[in-house]
A = this chain, B = another copy of it.
Amino acid sequence: MTAHPPLRAHHFVKVACEDCNLTRICLPKDLEDDGIKDLSKVVRRDRTLQKGETLYWAGESFSGIYALKSGSAKLVHTDRQGRETIISLVLPGELFGFDGLTAKEHRCALVALETSRYCELASSDLEPLAKKIPSLQHILLERSCEQMDQVVEQLAASQRPAEERLAGFLLDLASRYQRRGFPFESFNLSLTRQDIGHHLGLALETVSRLLGRLESAGIIKVQGKRIQLLDINGLKTAAGQPEERSASTLI
Contact = CB atoms under 8 A, between A and B. Distances in A.
A74 interface: no
Interface stretch (A110-118, A135-143, A223-231): A135-143
A108 interface: yes
Interface in A81-140: 81, 83, 85, 87, 98-99, 101-103, 107-108, 130, 137-138, 140
A247 interface: no
A79 B148 contact: no
B155 A155 contact: yes
Contact of A151 (B130, B137, B152): B152
A156 interface: yes
Interface in A22-81: 77, 79-81
A223 to B, nearest CB: 29
B137 A102 contact: no
A144 B107 CA distance: 15
A148 B146 contact: no
Tally of this chain's copies = 2
Contact of A155 (B130, B146, B154): B154
A172 interface: no
A97 to B, nearest CB: 10
A85 B159 CA distance: 8
Contacts of A5: none
Contacts of A145: 98-99, 101-102, 144
Interface in A141-186: 141-149, 151-160
A149 B80 contact: no
A101 B160 contact: no
A152 B98 CA distance: 12
A103 B38 CA distance: 26
B101 A159 contact: no
A240 B80 CA distance: 8
Contacts of A143: 102
- Determine which residue in A138, A148, A151, A154 has the highest number of CB atoms from chain B within 10 A of its CB, and name it: A148
A85 B142 contact: no
A95 to B, nearest CB: 12
B151 A102 contact: no
A83 B240 CA distance: 12
